[in-house]
Amino acid sequence: INSAPQDVAYYTVECSADCSHIYASALPIGFYYSYDYGKTWTNASAVSLPPEQLYLITTSGTGELVHVAGPNIGPYSSSDYGETFTISQSFSQQGRDWGSIACSFDGGIVVVTAMSSINGKWNGD
């Protein structure tokens, strides 16, 4: 990665199968993406994501479908390589402290777990 954003602490990195599309979560706050193997970067947090830290990232094999979540926020989904995001309506109780996120290679199946769960069921208010 040549021109990665400076003065940030990287939290999570995810990429497409060929690593042409790279997505990175950085502290203090930032969600960055690169479409050219890491040569140039865009801060998506400044465009279409809320200011909260989104540290969970998963992407489809092509990088087209991207899903992100963070503590008590999301999950958010993008179908345009991370340029725009919308809150996922597939999860009935957004606002949880999400623990992990993963998707299938084609991005069509997304699994999100909450930090406070018992046997895969939410254990909280």
pLDDT tens profile 32-91: 889 999 888 888 766 677 767 788 899 999 999 999 888 778 888 999 998 888 888 766
User: Over the chain, what is the mean pLDDT?
Assistant: 81
Strand partners, 26: 10
Q: In angstroms, what CA-CA distances link 67 with 1, 39, 90, 98, 100?
A: 22, 22, 12, 12, 11
Q: What's the predicted TM-score (pTM) here?
A: 0.81
Residue 34 is predicted with a pLDDT of 92
Cβ–Cβ under 8 Å, residues 76 and 87: yes
Please list, in sequence order, all residues whose beta carbon lies within 8 angstroms of the beta carbon of residue 61, skipping any fewer than 6 positions away.
16, 17, 105, 106, 107
